[in-house]
Amino acid sequence: MFEEPPAEARTTIDGFAQRVQGLLSKPLPLAEGTPNQLQPRVLALSMGARLKWIDYQHDTERRLAPGGELHPVRGMGNRLPAHAARLAAVQTIFADLAATEITEEVMAGGIALAKYYASGYYPGNRGCVMLRRIGR
C-alpha cells in the first residue's frame, strides 16, 4: 500500500536536487580556444581501485566463459567492468567535483552497482524470464 514518505525523505531529495543543480551549473571543460569541444579530464584509479577493478574484470571473464553465469548474456556481460569504472567515476565526481582519483571504496560501489544492474539480465533471473515472455 502507498504511504507518504517521511519528512526527512523530502530533505534528502531536496539536498540531492541541489547537488545536481550545482554540478550542472558549473562551466563545461572545453578545449582551449573552442566554443563547444569538450575536453574532460582524466580520473586516475588509486592502486586499491585499480586492483579491485582488475579482480572484477578477471572474475567477469571467468563468468563469461562457456558454461559461466554470464555466457548467455556475454554481449552485455563483457562490458560490465567498463560500466563499473564509469559508475565509480560518476560517484567520485558527484562527491567531489575537483577529485583527481577514484578510491578503492568508490570502485567497490561502482562494481556493486554494475552487478546489481546486470542481475536483471541473468537467464535464471525471474525478470529476465518475464522479458522473454513478452518478447523483449
DSSP string covering 80-118: HHHHHHHHHHHHHHHH-TT--EE-HHHHHHHHHHHHHHH
- pLDDT > 90 fraction of the chain, expressed in percent and rounded: 67
| pLDDT exceeds cutoff 80 at 68 | yes
Task: Compute the Cα dihedral for 89, 95, 100, 101 and give only its sign.
Answer: negative
Task: With beta carbons less than 8 A apart as the criterion, state whether 58 and 116 touch.
Answer: no
Output the average pLDDT for the chain: 88
| pLDDT exceeds cutoff 60 at 125 | no
| pLDDT exceeds cutoff 90 at 7 | no
Rounded distance, CA 32 to CA 120, Å?
A: 43
Task: With beta carbons less than 8 A apart as the criterion, state whether 97 and 26 touch.
Answer: yes
Rounded distance, CA 111 to CA 26, Å?
A: 28
User: Which residue has 518478447 as its cell numbers?
Assistant: 135
Q: What is the pTM of this model?
A: 0.80
Domain residue spans in the chain?
44-136
pLDDT the model gives residue 130 = 37
Rounded distance, CA 109 to CA 102, Å?
A: 11
Average pLDDT over residues 102-125: 86
Question: Binning pLDDT at 50, 70 and 90, where does residue 4 land?
Answer: confident
Average pLDDT over residues 67-93: 92
